[in-house]
Amino acid sequence: AQRVTQPEKLLSVFKGAPVELKCNYSYSGSPELFWYVQYSRQRLQLLLRHISRESIKGFTADLNKGETSFHLKKPFAQEEDSAMYYCALSGSARQLTFGSGTQLTVLP
């Protein structure tokens, strides 16, 4: 079975502060990990994926197989980063399993 855990339902930070959204996963094989984002009044959309090793909108995420984590980080949060963030895992069944989501609020 594959499982994704996001321990924080809500997270608030001030503008310019670093932000880290936590994601832990359970999967026996080699997973593909993703972060999805849903801005207010917009569709859920892919933010980044671990295989690309890219930085999108200043966000990065590193897959740590030892800790089974895929935390999302940004050194300086902006107000426009306020959104719901979902961590997701794709395993051998080729299904995408989502975590419960973290609502990030960046305060002015």
Partner 1 sequence: DADVTQTPRNRITKTGKRIMLECSQTKGHDRMYWYRQDPGLGLRLIYYSFDVKDINKGEISDGYSVSRQAQAKFSLSLESAIPNQTALYFCATSNLAAPSTGELFFGEGSRLTVL
Which residue ranges make up the site for partner 1 (CB under 8 A)? 4, 6, 9, 32, 34, 36, 43-46, 49, 51, 86, 88, 90, 94-101
Q: Which is nearer to partner 1, 81 or 97 (CB)?
A: 97
For 80-100, letters b (16+ CB in 10 Å) and e give ebbbebbbbbbbeeeeebebe
Least Å distance between CB 82 and partner 1?
Answer: 17
**Shortest Cβ distance from residue 16 to partner 1 (Å)?**
29
Candidates 90, 83, 89, 70; CA nearest to 44 is: 83
**Of 26 and 45, which CB lies nearer to partner 1 in the complex structure?**
45
- Identify which of residues 15 and 24 has a Cβ nearer to partner 1 in the complex: 24
Question: Minimum distance between the CB of residue 99 and partner 1, rounded to whole angstroms?
Answer: 5
Torsion of CA 95, 102, 71, 49, to 10 degrees: 40
